[in-house]
Structure 1
Amino acid sequence: MSTEQYLLDTFTFTQQHETKTGQIAAEKLARAIEGLVPQRGQVFNWSASGSVDTTERRFIRLSVNGSMFLQCQRCLQDYEYPVVVDTLFEVVNTEAELDEDEDDVETPDRVLASLNLDLFGLIEDEVILALPYIPRHDVCPSLPGELSEEDASGLETEKPNPFAVLGKLKKS
């Protein structure tokens, strides 16, 4: 697919409820694979569809499905991590609108209206955001079961706060 096919006129795309689909090889996502273990020919399937709601707000729904090979930071073995993205973007007309209600979790992500929205860049950004900050297996196959479980449970349990006693004294 040429780079021109990744450019969207957001007004036409949303007003006409258009849909685009395609595939991208993981190797083409240079920013996403930077610093990762070598990829092994994975392909991401993607689709983008435009819509307009009853209040004339314009939206683009982006779905991406595929996988990346990552290195577990616990056992240092490679593993395949599923990447599933389903994001709704509201198309806004001004940069000021991009930041409105950004703290509201109900508000969809926003993109600026454009005659040439870079859909490839949007796909790559969403793949990057879907990757874990610290990749690791749920249960490492190369570590003894007890060690892997202790390590995992140690990450989830909180240590007692040494200042909790002071908090109790303050209340009395």
Structure 2
Amino acid sequence: MAGTRRIAGSYGNCAKFGFILTEIRRVYIIPRLMQTPSLPSKIDPWRLAAESGRLEGSLALAALPRLIAELNRTDGVVSVALVAGIDPRGVRFIGGALRTGVELVCQRCLGRLRLALDVTVSLGLVHGEAEAGRLPEEYEPLLVPEGAIRVADLVEDELLLALPQIPRHDDARDCEANGYRTPDRVEHDQPFATLASLLRDSRRSH
């Protein structure tokens, strides 16, 4: 991500997002004059957190080149609902949700795989890896230098992390509908195929 870098880690228990979810509810009832009408192209995360700002709007998938390189189709939009703030422990954060639907290629049957992405975002802003190690476990560290970052880069990174490493249909019947047969199904349908092949090879050798 230009200007930002995610530091690897694991998500904590969803119950620990309670403070952020409370912040989302609080921000949604502020006067309309204080609301951001659309997503800006860039933000200063530190300033946004200091001002308890919010980001609400949508982005076209086509505007996320690293993401669409992994997709089978490039149409669609991402719904963005994020808030920033400072939690009771003094951690500056960006949290909320990203929602979209994508189409991938199933690596089992090579058919279309439609996937709904509902991503919970819980990022703690840090200046370096030393700070990252001190973050509460419910936050994923987001290394952010002083200055502006692109909102599209932030959203794109979170969606890329949410994609399955090996896209596959959960139900094998969806693969079978695309003409794929599981190994046990092939063996059941052709129980004598291996024997017939051995007999043919034996005849050719004589």
| TM, length-normalised to structure 2 | 0.60
| Match of residue 102 from structure 2 | 68
Unaligned residue ranges in structure 2 (runs of 5+): 1-38, 186-206
CA offsets per residue over residues 82-135 of structure 1, 9 Å max, x none?
11111211112x324354258x8x251122253303221110011111111110
Q: Give how far 1:18 is off.
A: 1.0
Question: Which of 151, 158, 161 in structure 2 is aligned with 1:119?
Answer: 151
Question: Which of 141, 150, 153 in structure 2 is aligned with 1:110?
Answer: 141
Q: Give how far 1:150 is off.
A: 6.1
Count of paired positions: 142
Does structure 1 retain, via aligned residues, the 8 Å contact 2:169–2:175?
Answer: no
RMSD over aligned Cα atoms: 2.6
Structure-2 change in CA distance of 1:55 and 1:26 (3 Å)? same
Higher strand proportion (structure 1 or 2): 1
1:10 is the counterpart of 2:45: yes
| Match of residue 160 from structure 1 | none
Secondary structure (helix, strand or coil) at the match of 2:165 reads coil
> What is the alpha-carbon distance in structure 1 between the residues aligned to residue 129 and residue 160 of structure 2?
25
Q: What is the correspondence of 1:141-152 to structure 2 with a 5 Å cutoff? A: 141-143=174-176
Does structure 2 retain, via aligned residues, the 8 Å contact 1:101–1:107?
Answer: no
Q: Give how far 1:142 is off.
A: 4.3
Secondary structure (helix, strand or coil) at the match of 2:40 reads helix
Secondary structure (helix, strand or coil) at the match of 1:47 reads strand
Amino acid at match of 2:119: V
| TM, length-normalised to structure 1 | 0.71
Q: Which has the larger radius of gyration?
A: 2
Unaligned residue ranges in structure 1 (runs of 5+): 152-172
Secondary structure (helix, strand or coil) at the match of 1:5 reads coil
Q: Give how far 1:52 is off.
A: 1.0
Q: Percent identity?
A: 24
Question: Which of 111, 119, 132 in structure 2 is aligned with 1:85?
Answer: 119
Q: Following superposition, which runs of at least 4 residues in structure 1 exceed 4 angstroms of deviation?
A: 147-151
Q: What is the correspondence of 1:30-69 to structure 2 with a 5 Å cutoff? A: 30-39=65-74, 41-69=75-103
> What is the alpha-carbon distance in structure 2 between the residues aligned to residue 88 and residue 149 of structure 1?
41
> What is the alpha-carbon distance in structure 2 between the residues aligned to residue 71 and residue 99 of structure 1?
35
Question: Which of 133, 139, 142 in structure 2 is aligned with 1:100?
Answer: 133
| Match of residue 170 from structure 2 | 138
Does structure 2 retain, via aligned residues, the 8 Å contact 1:139–1:148?
Answer: no
